[in-house]
């Protein structure tokens, strides 16, 4: 983990925080929900569920059916409130936006530039042609959740986020100043600077992998496929900018794991799959970062308050308890006859969830 200006302080043995939310998660579908739903609900009260299934979850009726499949896998005694994102396509209409605005289980529309990441082939191919939809979203108060990368082959993969900001995101926020925008899983100092300088209608999520690692952790000594995600890990100075943003207490930055399961056999191939499956140690990974920099007093805001405030939702009332004790993140997870390798597999963490109260 790279250096920072934050100085270590004495760490508490027990840390109690308001129960957090995950503002960006992939639960997948069908049988795998029996693994992903309990893994996420063990910690998070709410989660923004990504819609990049096949076929994509692109309207309210599809999202409602998907939400019911998710809730059917919730273990007895757990509480969980999945907030559904709808997949923005080139054929999305103002009527679709109006329908989404009328359903409190829908959190917003997810913009995937076509070809940007897993199951994004149905994504938007002409962002400049979406003005009528963005205008409707602004009018109805429906947030736009953005995977911020250009996808043309002439742009270096490490520059895709910056170019997207300049080419698309900055113009969108200028043209639609009241549109609420979440710049998801940001990876660069450019993104941090953009969010800081934008209006209060613009926020951003940050993942554990982009806080804890940089591109050396992906490429040095060979390609480490379980650290491969999109947007790809960037150089160290960008990692440090993300750390500073998360630790700063700035309410524009909040937790979104982008936990994305891919089976071991698919990750460990010549081409691999983009995604880090962090759900089994998610809040503990963030605690590792905040503890490392002596900033555990800032974890609750980042994890539990700022996202809810940004979306205009009430903060959770129940609590989560983290206990300081060394433990090892799971090496592998098996569900049915299938195996996954979680992010941070087999590595030590110094805080672990002990219990929840009031849930």
246 is written with which tokens? 């998360």
Whether residue 35 contacts residue 333, with contact meaning beta carbons closer than 8 Å, is answered with yes
Measure the CA–CA gap between 145 and 205, rounded to whole angstroms. Answer: 10
Q: Is 309 a catalytic residue?
A: no
Q: Is 238 annotated as a binding residue?
A: no
Does the annotation flag 262 for ligand binding? yes
Determine how β-strand 181-183 pairs with β-strand 202-206.
parallel
- 48 within 8 A of 67, measured Cβ to Cβ: no
Q: Find out whether 27 is annotated in a ligand binding site.
A: yes
Rounded distance between C-alpha atoms, residue 205 and residue 197, angstroms: 16
Q: Which two tokens stand for residue 20?
A: 């957090």
Beta strands in the chain (DSSP E): 14-18, 22-25, 46-49, 81-87, 106-111, 144-146, 181-183, 202-206, 253-255, 319-328, 333-335, 338-340, 348-357
Tokens describing residue 336? 């049915």
> Does 136 show up as a binding residue in the annotation?
no
Please check if 52 is assigned to a binding site: yes
Between the alpha carbon of residue 75 and those of residues 33, 40, 71, 104, the distances in Å are 11, 11, 9, 23
Does 28 carry a binding-site annotation?
yes
| Token reading at 296 | 């555990």
Catalytic residue among 21, 96, 190, 258: 258
* Helices marked H in 233-341: 236-247, 264-267, 282-292, 299-300, 306-311
CB neighbours of 30 closer than 8 A, spacing ≥ 6? 69
Sign of CA dihedral 142, 145, 148, 151: negative
Given the structure tokens 């554990």, which residue do they identify? 208
Annotated binding residues for Zn(2+): 24, 26, 110, 147, 185, 258
Annotated binding residues: 24, 26-28, 52, 110, 147, 185, 230, 258, 262, 274
Active site residues per annotation:
258
Annotated binding residues for substrate: 26-28, 52, 147, 230, 262, 274
């Amino acid at each position: 983990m790279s250096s920072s200006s934050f100085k270590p302080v004495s760490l508490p043995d027990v840390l109690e925080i308001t129960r957090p939310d995950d503002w960006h998660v992939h639960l997948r579908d069908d049988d795998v929900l029996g693994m992903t739903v309990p893994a996420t609900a063990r910690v998070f009260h709410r989660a923004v569920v990504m819609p990049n299934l096949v076929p994509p979850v692109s309207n309210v009726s599809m999202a409602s059916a998907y939400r019911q499949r998710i809730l059917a896998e919730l273990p007895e005694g757990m509480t969980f409130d999945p907030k559904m994102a709808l997949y923005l396509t080139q054929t999305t209409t103002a009527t679709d936006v109006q329908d989404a605005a009328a359903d409190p289980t829908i959190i917003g529309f997810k913009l995937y530039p076509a070809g940007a990441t897993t199951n994004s082939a149905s994504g938007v191919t002409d962002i400049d042609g979406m003005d009528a939809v963005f205008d409707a979203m602004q009018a109805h108060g429906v947030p736009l959740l953005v995977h911020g990368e250009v996808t043309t082959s002439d742009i270096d993969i490490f520059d895709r986020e910056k170019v997207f900001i300049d080419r698309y995101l900055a113009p969108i926020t200028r043209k639609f100043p009241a549109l609420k925008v979440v710049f998801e899983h940001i990876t660069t100092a450019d993104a941090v600077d953009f969010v800081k300088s934008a209006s209060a209608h613009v926020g951003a999520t940050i993942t554990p992998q982009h806080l804890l690692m940089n591109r050396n952790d992906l490429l040095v000594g060979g390609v480490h496929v379980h650290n491969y995600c999109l947007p790809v890990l960037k150089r160290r100075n960008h990692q440090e900018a993300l750390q500073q943003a998360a630790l700063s207490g700035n309410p524009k930055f909040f937790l979104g794991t982008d936990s994305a399961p891919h089976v071991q056999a698919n990750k460990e191939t010549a081409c691999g799959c983009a995604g880090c499956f962090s759900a089994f140690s998610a809040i503990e990974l963030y605690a590792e970062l905040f503890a490392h920099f002596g900033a555990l007093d800032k974890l609750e805001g980042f994890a539990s308050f700022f996202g809810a405030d940004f979306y205009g939702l009430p903060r959770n009332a129940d609590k989560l308890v983290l206990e300081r004790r060394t433990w090892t993140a799971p090496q592998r997870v098996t569900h049915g006859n299938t195996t996954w390798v979680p992010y941070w597999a087999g590595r030590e963490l110094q805080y672990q969830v002990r219990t929840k109260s009031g849930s």
